[in-house]
Chains A and B, each alone.
Chain A
Amino acid sequence: MAAHEDVSREATFGSLPVTRDERVWNFADFTWVNVGLAIATWAFLVGGATASLVGFADGLLAMVIGNAIGVVIMLLASVVASQRYGVEQYTVLRSVFGFGGVALIVFTVILFTEMGWSSLLSVMFGRAVSQVSNEALGTSIDPSGLAVTAFALVAIVAAWVILAKGPLTIRFFNRIVAPGLAVLTVGMLVLVFTETSWSQLVDAAPLAPFEDEGLNFALAVEFNLGVGFSWWPVMGSLARLTTTPRAAMWPAFIGLFGATILAQAVGMAAALTLGDSDPTVWMVPLGGAWLGALALVFVAFANLTSLASIVYSTCLALRQAGGHLLTRVPWPWLCAGFFVLPGVLAFFPGLLYDQFLLFVTWTGAFLAAICGTVIADYFVLRRQRIDLRGLYGHAAASPYHFTGGFNVAALLSTGLGALTYVLLYNPQTLETRPAFDLLTASVPAVVVAAVAHLLLTALLVRRAGRGGYDAPPAPVAERSGERNG
Chain B
Amino acid sequence: MDDVDLEVSRELERRLAVIDDEQRRDPHPPFPRSDLLVLVAIVVVSVVVGLIAGLG
Contacts and interface: CB of A to CB of B under 8 A. Distances in A.
Contacts of A465: none
If over half of A's interface residues share one DSSP class (helix, strand or loop), that class is named, otherwise mixed; here it is: helix
Contacts of B35: 245-246, 249-250
A84 B7 CA distance: 25
B12 A61 contact: no
Interface in A235-253: 244-246, 249-250, 253
A6 B43 contact: no
A7 B7 contact: yes
A218 interface: yes
Contacts of A327: 4
A478 interface: yes
Interface string A60-72: 0100110011001
A86 B4 CA distance: 22
Contacts, number: 120
A234 B6 CA distance: 28
B50 A221 contact: yes
Interface residues of B, number: 36
Contact of A484 (B4, B18, B29, B39): B29
B29 A481 contact: yes
B30 A7 contact: no
A142 interface: no
Contacts of A75: 39
Contact of A16 (B12, B30, B42): B12
B50 A477 contact: no
Contact of B43 (A64, A69, A250, A389): A69
A85 B28 contact: yes
A384 B23 contact: no
Interface in B22-56: 22-33, 35-36, 39, 42-43, 46-47, 49-51, 53-55
Interface string A371-386: 0000000000000110
Interface in B7-24: 7-8, 11-12, 15-16, 18-19, 22-24
Interface of A: 3-4, 6-7, 10-11, 16-20, 58, 61, 64-65, 68-69, 72-73, 75-76, 80, 83-86, 214, 217-218, 221, 244-246, 249-250, 253, 327, 384-385, 388-389, 392, 437-438, 440, 443, 475, 477-478, 480-482, 484-485
15 contacts: A3-B3, A3-B7, A7-B11, A68-B43, A76-B39, A83-B31, A86-B28, A245-B29, A245-B35, A437-B54, A475-B24, A477-B24, A478-B27, A485-B31, A485-B32
Given A84-B29, A438-B55, 16 more contacts: A7-B4, A16-B8, A17-B15, A65-B46, A69-B46, A69-B47, A72-B42, A84-B30, A217-B54, A249-B35, A249-B39, A477-B25, A481-B29, A481-B30, A484-B27, A484-B29
